[in-house]
Amino acid sequence: MLKQGVKLVLDKLRSRIVHLGPSLLSVPVKLTPFALKRQVLEQVLSWQFRQALDDGELEFLEGRWLSIHVRDIDLQWFTSVVNGKLVVSQKNAQADVSFSADASDLLMIAARKQDPDTLFFQRRLVIEGDTELGLYVKNLMDAIELEQMPKALRMMLLQLADFVEAGMKTAPETKQTSVGEPC
């Protein structure tokens, strides 16, 4: 009985963290200088797509810009391939294609726990702009191979995805109040 009670409390805590986490992360994300965000993003993207870059599989992005917006933490950046290297920029006059989704959905795509097509048709992944370029990018997202990731990054990604997935299954507890009761 005690184990069930502890599990229930931990499940509720995990659910609250998962549901409130993005709003809590949005403040430090806003306060972090873009130069630091760019450095982290470029490093992670180059780790993940090193082989694709070497094989020329990202040539479709050469001179074209992809906007990525993580809606619930209000993080947006633009990425392109310049001279065979992935680059990240804070601003771009016009993105050729834009992808936007919540952090948990992008995490689930990266961890291969959600299919981009499913999220697109559920309107949780929004793709706007050049249709052909958007299809290339979506197919690239769909082809992410976890085995190609550095082990530390892969393990962190999978553990975080498992945590978020479990937290999304349980609705966060909200306090019910009646008229006349203090909130």
Q: What are φ and ψ of residue 2, in 5° steps?
A: -65, -40
Q: Is residue 81 very low, low, confident or very high in pLDDT (cuts 50, 70, 90)?
A: very high
Under the banding of pLDDT at 50, 70 and 90, the label for residue 152 is: confident
Amino acid at 112: R
Give the β-pairing of 97-101 and 66-70.
Answer: parallel
Out of 50-54, 91-95, 176-180, the most confident range is 50-54
Across residues 156-162, what is the average pLDDT? 94
Domain ranges of the chain: 11-169
- Mean pLDDT confidence for 135-152: 85
3-state secondary structure (DSSP) of residue 92: coil
Q: Would strands 85-89 and 66-70 be described as parallel, antiparallel, or unpaired?
A: unpaired
Exposed, middle or buried: residue 76 (CB in 10 Å: 0-12, 13-18, 19+)?
Answer: middle
**Could you identify the residue written with the tokens 């978020």?**
164
Confidence band of 174 (pLDDT split at 50, 70, 90): low
| Rounded to 5°, angle at Cα 148 from 120 and 99 | 25
Please name the fold of domain 11-169: Nonspecific Lipid-transfer Protein; Chain A (3.30.1050)
For range 152-164, the mean pLDDT: 92
pLDDT band at 50 (very low <50, low <70, confident <90, very high): confident
CA atoms of 153 and 167, how far apart (whole Å): 21
